Structure 1
Amino acid sequence: MIEQKPETLIVECAHQVATVTLNRPEVRNAFNATMIAELTAVFRELSERDDVRAVALAANGKAFCAGADLNWMKEMAGYSDDENRADALRLADMLWSIYRCGKPVIARVNGDAYAGGMGLISACDIVIAADTAHFCLSEARLGLIPATIAPYVIRALGERAARRYFATAEQFDCATALRLGFVSEAVSEDKLDDTVQQLAAILCSNGPNAVRACKRLVQDIAGRELDTPLIEATAARIAQVRASAEGREGIASFLEKRAPAWRS
């Protein structure tokens, strides 16, 4: 359980799904040092909780996330090089905690996502967005670069599109984000909750260890050369899963025409 109530987040768990809601609507859910620390801690904890099978990352207010809080950025302008590096690493740790969370993470994008907000979305596994949402990698407008979020955004957006939107800082709509594959599914805002809930229920119906392993499989294999070591590594993974208790239970329940133990 979350030991201390977060200041910038709302964390709720129901029916094996944890919902982490950004709760700074007065600043369009822009993140500061507190939110970064809280997101890191919450996702690390949820990754290890047996009673959680999926996580939804949501936001209160009209925007999903406007990126970094401008007052916080103003403070950073006076930081030393070492302090700036340490601060950037804390942001990197937050993104990594979401990306490598042991549970699938669904981004519930209710509104606009700018700069670091796109980084948050990119670290998630599945993105359900309101069809009215807009996206922007706005750093270049401020003489900055989206460096810390780049590893995640380039994977989610694609290299060609990243070359354009990193440099131009253009805003693009949800239809474009869907076409580029940055958004998994676009729905009307009134259907966001139902769509996320239905998807979370599907994830929860599958073998929990298998879902975790599927997430790792994609992350570990994407972009790798198709060679003998990769072929041998994937063969070893499926052999290990087949011999696992969950794998044996899944096959047995299918043959016996009954629900597997993880659904009971």
Structure 2
Amino acid sequence: MSGFETIRVETGADGIATVTLDRPEKHHAMNAAMIAELTEAAATLGNDAAVRAVVLAATGPSFCAGGDLDWMRQQQAADRAGKMAEAGRLSAMLAGLNALPKPLIARVQGNVYGGGVGLVAVSDIAIAADGIRLALTETRLGLVPATIGPFVVARMGRGFARQVFFSGSTFGTDFAMRAGLIHETCPGDMLDERVRRHADAVLKTAPGAVAAAKALCLDLGTDEAEDIRTSIAALADRWESDEAQERIGAFLGGG
């Protein structure tokens, strides 16, 4: 796959595809282009019978810094319908990765903030470098981690999510592992080896059975569609609040 501006997609002869976030100068902060490209990549790889597993990776020191500042300025200027439409596109991208009928393995080499936590949450397996930090910082801007909320809460459970969902504080891999957000940590120079170990295990399985098993996991005890609708409305409410307008204006004005 080619023609992308914010990501790279490569598929090996063994059927292991790698989707690499490729905006290192912006710490892979997500914008409309990246959201669209990740959505397209998920659909294309999901429909490719030759692909057995997908690795989600990033270049540079950060995994994903959340939302791009220019993208946030565009949302701030949009009306309520525009804000909800853009949140819907982000939700659709995350839902596409979440429902990918192949195992999705996150190679988390650096810090993860905001929407980046959503990318980790929709991965089936997340392997992180020792010492990285994660955070949901939306409440500092008067917003809420709404669009990623259904996926993060589904992954961590309410008990763990309530410890980090609204504090805005960073947390480390020890907490992330206990919460089920991260599955394994290792020195950064061992990430490729650990990721490859999980990918090799997938190659020993029957692809149809893997897709069916993953779909079953996602179907049991959830109403993702309703959760997404609720979270998008909650985010639009916060965007329109005086509190958020004041804080976001100060934040973006200083950007």
Q: TM-score band, normalised by the shorter chain?
A: 0.7 to 0.9
Residue 12 of structure 1 is matched in structure 2 by 10
Higher Rg of the two aligned structures: 1
Q: Is 1:57–1:106's contact at 8 Å kept on the other side of the alignment?
A: yes
Q: Secondary structure at the match of 2:9?
A: strand
CA deviation map 1:104-155 (0-9, x unaligned): 1001101111010001111111111111211100100111101110000001
Q: Secondary structure at the match of 2:89?
A: helix
For structure 2, the 5+ residue unaligned runs are 224-255
Q: Secondary structure at the match of 1:77?
A: helix
What is the distance in 2 between the residues matched to 1:219 and 1:175?
25
Structural mapping, 1:210-225, within 5 Å = 210-222=209-221
What is the distance in 2 between the residues matched to 1:216 and 1:76?
33
In structure 2, give the amino acid aligned to 1:166.
F
Residue 208 of structure 1 is matched in structure 2 by 207
- State the shift of 1:222 in Å: 4.5
Q: Is 1:131–1:175's contact at 8 Å kept on the other side of the alignment?
A: no
In structure 1, give the amino acid aligned to 2:6.
T
For structure 1, the 5+ residue unaligned runs are 225-264
Q: Secondary structure at the match of 1:172?
A: strand
Residue 80 of structure 1 is matched in structure 2 by 79
Higher RCO (C-alpha 8 Å, min separation 6): 2
Residue 158 of structure 1 is matched in structure 2 by 157
Q: What is the root-mean-square deviation of aligned Cα atoms in Å? A: 1.2
CA deviation map 1:29-85 (0-9, x unaligned): 001000000000000010010110000000001010000001210121110111111
Q: Is 1:113–1:136's contact at 8 Å kept on the other side of the alignment?
A: yes
What is the distance in 1 between the residues matched to 2:180 and 2:86?
30
Residue 102 of structure 1 is matched in structure 2 by 101
Residue 168 of structure 1 is matched in structure 2 by 167
Residue 33 of structure 1 is matched in structure 2 by 32
Matched length: 222
TM-score where L is the length of structure 2: 0.85
In structure 2, give the amino acid aligned to 1:7.
E
Residue 240 of structure 2 is matched in structure 1 by none
Residue 59 of structure 1 is matched in structure 2 by 58
Residue 114 of structure 2 is matched in structure 1 by 115
Q: Is 1:98–1:123's contact at 8 Å kept on the other side of the alignment?
A: yes
What is the distance in 1 between the residues matched to 2:94 and 2:212?
20
What is the distance in 2 between the residues matched to 1:25 and 1:9?
10
What is the distance in 2 between the residues matched to 1:155 and 1:169?
19
TM-score where L is the length of structure 1: 0.82
In structure 1, give the amino acid aligned to 2:115.
G
- State the shift of 1:164 in Å: 2.2
Identity %, equivalent residues: 43
What is the distance in 1 between the residues matched to 2:160 and 2:179?
8
Q: Secondary structure at the match of 2:171?
A: strand
